[in-house]
Structure 1
Amino acid sequence: MRTRTVAVATASALTVALGSSLLAAGAEPGTGPGNGPGSGTSAASLFGGSLPLSTEPVTTTVAPGVTVTALELGRKDADDVWTVHVYLPGSPDGPLATANTALGERAIADRVFAAVAAAGFEPRLQAVERPEFADYPGGLLGWTVRVGRYPTEAEARSTLNRLRAAGFTGGTRYTAQDGTDPRAPQRVHVMRIDFDEFSGTVDTDFGPALNGTETLTDLIDATGALAGVNAQWFYNKAPGGLYVVDGKLIGSATQGRGAVRIERGGRRLDVDAYTASVTVHVRGASMPVDGVNRLPGEIWNCGGLGGDQPTEHPQHDLKCTDDSELVRFTPDWGPATPAGPGVEAVLDARGTVLAVHETRGTTFPAGGSTLQATGELADRLRAGVAVGDRLRIVEDVRDSRGRRVPLTRDTTILQVGPTLVDDGEVFVNGYADGLVREGADQTFTYNWAVRSNPRSMIGMDGEGRLMLVVVDGRQAGVSEGLSVEAAAELMHLLGAEEAMNLDGGGSSVMATAEDGILNRPSDASGQRSLGNVVLVRP
């Protein structure tokens, strides 16, 4: 029988409820105890070792052993203003009227600063620092040019329009979302699943097909789940990254990127970096598979096999390309495979080749799969297999130590990232996870990792309780969101021994079957349709 209680918890009671959390109502930054993990990223670097509660937390019981605690942190102050962010060209002599980078080298910023000043405005230069990641040093990320400080966005937009008329490009920014203010307003929802009391499970799910999206509330309704949050990134309407469900590998790996491994129905959780290989063996020869259940030639987040352009290193939210690929499709994808030029071999449930088509796009036989090939690999697949051949497909998933991961029915892997907490220490693998951009333009790193955004996280505390956490963002004066560094520190202060970042931004959502959406998604239209989710099931 589902029970439901609401309690207002004091800060000290909340500390007990959340385990080894460090929470202090109204505490000034820096006054709480700090924890300096060996990764070089200090858990006390932003919040000062304690979270600045602005109101008393409220805890709701969803089911025995499942609670949600709503936290409000920080508050709006006089330094939180609207400003105009002037975009920079990508090179020192690039055109100003079509500039589209948020920050750049000092020489470029100086040129824009001088030009804006000459046009009659009063610009200011600001240096942006990149935090120290566990696998990449901190330092100067670049320089920005900004104009004005305004109490409303409308006033900032008026100045932006005048700047555009003068031949510049840019946008409005709210300074509390720069990711550097420990007391910026935040609204946080922390779901705890205590398996000493809760007899259900925590795992992942998606809609009727990988090739399609569903809202979290629809998936909760369809599955009878108690609650859930969003999970992986999704591209071309399908989850991106290594995705293992009940021991089945149904999503391609971004090689070496962080992932969360869930076993025993959520009672065991570990974060690590993973690689995966899928190999087809036939007639004494073997062929490596480039991807599983994704469009051939489009490698979102990069980190694929040989031939990908412009890089084989993970680069989050960047689409790499390869005109010669072998991609496996399973019925999880949907009723039919993507159509297009190339060759497609159709396999039955035992791996026997039923047909070899001279174009891509077909339906699945019962329990079967297909192999699609493009470019040079289309010729190789055509020559290498024939109707009646028996193919052996070998899957191999490895952790960061090179150890093989058994893919049992108890295994779920969601490749998301970056890692936030590992073995009780703040540990953000920013470079390996593709947060550090290759090349001169660091706009992505600035906007995605350094600035504040809505975030969703998963973790496990020292008492073995699983945590699902959502922080609202992009809501000026209400909830600004967190930088990646601050998200890691938040999870550490909430007691996480292991924690991983999930998809965020407009995808960040938490809901229960009884109350619906608990947070406030940042998209104006409300909750997004998602590629997959994490569900708490009775």
Structure 2
Amino acid sequence: MHRRALTTLVVALATLVPAAAAPAASATTPALPRGVTLSSFSLGGQDADDVWTVHVYLPATLDGPLNTAGTALGSKEIADRVAAALREKGFEPRLEQVDLPRFADVPAGVLGWTVRLGRYPTNAAATTALSQIRAAGFAGGTRYTAQDGTDPGAPQKVHVLSVDFRQFRGTVDTDFGPTLNGTETLTDLLGTTGAAAGINAQWFYNRAPGGLYVKDGRLIGSATQGRGGIKITHGGRRVDVDTYTARVTLRAGRESVEIDGVNRLPGEVWNCGGVGGDQPTEKAQHDLKCTDSSELVRFTPEWGTPPAGEGAEAVLDARGRVLAVNTTRGAGIPPGGSTIQAIGDSATWLLAHARPGSRLTVTERVEDGRGHRVPLTPGTTILQVGPTLVRDGRVSVNAGADGLIREGTDQTFTYNWALRANPRSMIGVDRHGKLMLVVVDGRQAGYSEGLGIAQTAELMKRLGAVEALNLDGGGSSVLATAGTGIVNRPSDATGQRSLGNVILVRP
């Protein structure tokens, strides 16, 4: 057990006192508009319990092979079998229970068990021990215990960009590079847009944003039904965290059909949670690619050049008039128009109902978590990221509906992504309407370990957020200003990643 008390974290967060070694950056940061401030501070610190260890992988089934095992945790029975096999080879393993914290829609419980060996001062020493474990017929990796996500006093570097609209006269909104299907670095986008500061926003999968994306009232990214998101209106002065669903319908005369996606590759449903026919599940599952062999996908001018391939497509002008019907996919998008691509059985439907010169009507309906329709008016932006962190002033993580809990018995993803410490990016708003863009560095032993999702929600609440949402994280977590450049320390060895879209503060 770690000896550092939780009160250390609570007091530090409540007072926001920067550590002596990490003074607030707001006093020296140039080029920030009036009402925008930047603070960087340290929390926690190393102690004797922060060590490297060998983490032995478990087979997916009780009788599975040990030398090719690939799950980070499993049932008690599987963990016992692996531990017994290690003891037979002369090792001294320890079993550790991994607990799932209580989330808003998932009760607390035991997620699984891990098997570990040794406590080493360096990763190099743990790696040497790991080679011996592998030579004995086991699989595994090394772990730093301070990154298990269970230590509230682990070292953290926190960066907070605050926007006080009582003084700030600019706007906060989203943006992306020349096309939606490409990526740009945050610092490049700051340069091309003239923005004062920014943070990473949505996930990006195979040339597409990962979730509902409404920009200036235009629906340009597919929804993962029921996942968390944030609605930004009035230039950032109104921010609402909620869960969202979206339905897009294509009508040809008296016939209508549901459009499966907007601006993504047909047949690939990243994060699952589509509108029907997805395999292996129609429920949201974060970072999992579902598939659907029969889909209609709409492409708008924001996307760029649509993907080519087998199937069918209809090319529409700005008023929905059909300019062409093709038996392959990949035609360019007319100015202000769109294309409807189809694969599988949906291609048969499209070819039967789309005729050159006829008109196809596309209707869109976005609903919040209460089933109320969300008007897609100019100036309305919705980013579906998630999970939700704080709602109505209370910690509220929708881990189940957001797809953080894996279906099936293998909970490695849930353990690694949701429970263990990772770099995190967040957006929130306090009771005075002050907007906060926050990054916590992670995966950097002894410098900043990162946070689990439950700790991330607690941090945002302690920072004063009454509404807060998790953004893309990991190696994508980056906060930058035009005057300083990158403020935090991204976890990738190569530095900042290219991003699908970002949130920008524009003077």
Normalised by the size of structure 1, how large is the TM-score?
0.91
Look up the match of 2:110: 140
- Give runs of aligned pairs for residues 389-468 of structure 1, distance below 5 A: 389-468=358-437
Structure 1 gap ranges (5+) = 1-26, 35-46
Q: Which amino acid aligns with 1:58?
A: A
Q: Secondary structure at the match of 1:60?
A: helix
Following superposition, the deviation at residue 427 of structure 1 comes to: 0.3
Following superposition, the deviation at residue 117 of structure 1 comes to: 1.4
Contact 2:293 2:343 in 1 (8 A): yes
Following superposition, the deviation at residue 237 of structure 1 comes to: 2.7
Q: Secondary structure at the match of 1:315?
A: strand
Following superposition, the deviation at residue 120 of structure 1 comes to: 1.6
- Aligned counterpart in structure 2 of residue 72 of structure 1, from 42, 52, 56: 42
The total of aligned residue pairs comes to 500
Following superposition, the deviation at residue 238 of structure 1 comes to: 2.2
Q: Which amino acid aligns with 1:508?
A: S
Matched residues in 2 for 1:71 and 1:475: separation? 16
Q: Which amino acid aligns with 2:286?
A: H
Q: Which amino acid aligns with 2:77?
A: A
- Aligned counterpart in structure 2 of residue 362 of structure 1, from 331, 337, 341: 331
Look up the match of 1:112: 82
Look up the match of 1:297: 267
Contact 1:416 1:503 in 2 (8 A): yes
Matched residues in 1 for 2:474 and 2:307: separation? 28
Following superposition, the deviation at residue 63 of structure 1 comes to: 2.0
- Give runs of aligned pairs for residues 36-435 of structure 1, distance below 5 A: 54-55=19-20, 57-60=23-26, 62-334=32-304, 336-435=305-404
Following superposition, the deviation at residue 60 of structure 1 comes to: 0.7
Query: Residue by residue, what CA displacement relative to the aligned partner does 1:116-138 show, whole Å, maximum 9, x if unpaired?
Result: 11112111000000110000101
Look up the match of 1:487: 456
Contact 1:50 1:493 in 2 (8 A): no
Matched residues in 2 for 1:163 and 1:428: separation? 38
Matched residues in 2 for 1:458 and 1:33: separation? 20
Q: Which amino acid aligns with 2:382?
A: I
Following superposition, the deviation at residue 391 of structure 1 comes to: 1.1
Mean CA deviation greater in 241-250 or 163-172:
163-172
Give the share of equivalent positions with the same residue, in percent. 68
Mean CA deviation greater in 301-310 or 361-370:
361-370
Contact 1:51 1:73 in 2 (8 A): no
- Deviation above 2 Å: which 4+ runs of structure 1? 30-34, 47-57
Query: Residue by residue, what CA displacement relative to the aligned partner does 1:388-439 show, whole Å, maximum 9, x if unpaired?
Result: 1111110000001110000011100000000000011100000010001100
Matched residues in 1 for 2:8 and 2:123: separation? 34
Q: Secondary structure at the match of 2:132?
A: helix
In structure 2, relative to structure 1, the CA distance for the partners of 1:405 and 1:521 (3 Å cut) is: same
Following superposition, the deviation at residue 166 of structure 1 comes to: 1.1
Q: Secondary structure at the match of 1:189?
A: strand
Q: Which amino acid aligns with 1:442?
A: Q
In structure 2, relative to structure 1, the CA distance for the partners of 1:81 and 1:463 (3 Å cut) is: same
Query: Residue by residue, what CA displacement relative to the aligned partner does 1:304-339 show, whole Å, maximum 9, x if unpaired?
Result: 0111001111000000000000000011111x2101
Contact 1:347 1:370 in 2 (8 A): yes
Contact 1:83 1:148 in 2 (8 A): yes
In structure 2, relative to structure 1, the CA distance for the partners of 1:32 and 1:360 (3 Å cut) is: closer
In structure 2, relative to structure 1, the CA distance for the partners of 1:267 and 1:454 (3 Å cut) is: same
Following superposition, the deviation at residue 262 of structure 1 comes to: 0.4
Matched residues in 1 for 2:408 and 2:314: separation? 39
Normalised by the size of structure 2, how large is the TM-score?
0.96
In structure 2, relative to structure 1, the CA distance for the partners of 1:49 and 1:123 (3 Å cut) is: farther
Following superposition, the deviation at residue 366 of structure 1 comes to: 1.7
Structure 2 gap ranges (5+) = none
Following superposition, the deviation at residue 52 of structure 1 comes to: 8.8
Q: Secondary structure at the match of 2:341?
A: strand
Matched residues in 2 for 1:424 and 1:455: separation? 20
Q: Which amino acid aligns with 2:6?
A: P
Matched residues in 2 for 1:452 and 1:51: separation? 21
Matched residues in 2 for 1:83 and 1:181: separation? 16
Following superposition, the deviation at residue 463 of structure 1 comes to: 1.0
Matched residues in 2 for 1:392 and 1:48: separation? 52
